[in-house]
Amino acid sequence: MSSLFKDLDEQPRPASPAPGQPLPDRLRPAALDDVVGQDHLIGESGPIGRMLKAGRVSSIVLWGPPGCGKTTIARLLAG
């Protein structure tokens, strides 16, 4: 039987998360371009965006309230 979602079935799927992995880890963006918000930091004119464009990322301290994207940005920069 053909699938109603044939176009979706033909696209490569991301690796499935490990069993028991916390929801925030499963939903975390895979690239800086996927991060919503924080354009003042990771945008072209932001400090992180300028460091990436120059090809040199120095030590930085990310500070802010829970859930604002600190860990996500740090993991993406480390990767």
Task: For residue 21, count other CB atoms closer than 10 A to its CB.
Answer: 10
pLDDT of residue 79: 84
pTM: 0.67
**Local confidence pLDDT in tens for the 79 residues of the chain:** 556 555 555 555 556 667 788 887 888 899 999 998 889 999 999 999 999 999 999 999 999 999 889 999 999 999 8
Q: What domains are defined for the chain? A: 22-78 (3.40.50.300)
**Per-position DSSP letters for 51-66, written without gaps between them:** HHHHT---------ST
C-beta of residue 49 within 8 angstroms of C-beta of residue 41: yes
pLDDT of residue 43: 92
Closest CA to 67 of 23, 24, 20: 24
What is the phi-psi region of residue 8: left when phi exceeds 0, alpha when psi lies from -120 to 50, beta otherwise?
A: alpha
Closest CA to 71 of 34, 40, 29, 22: 29
pLDDT of residue 53: 94
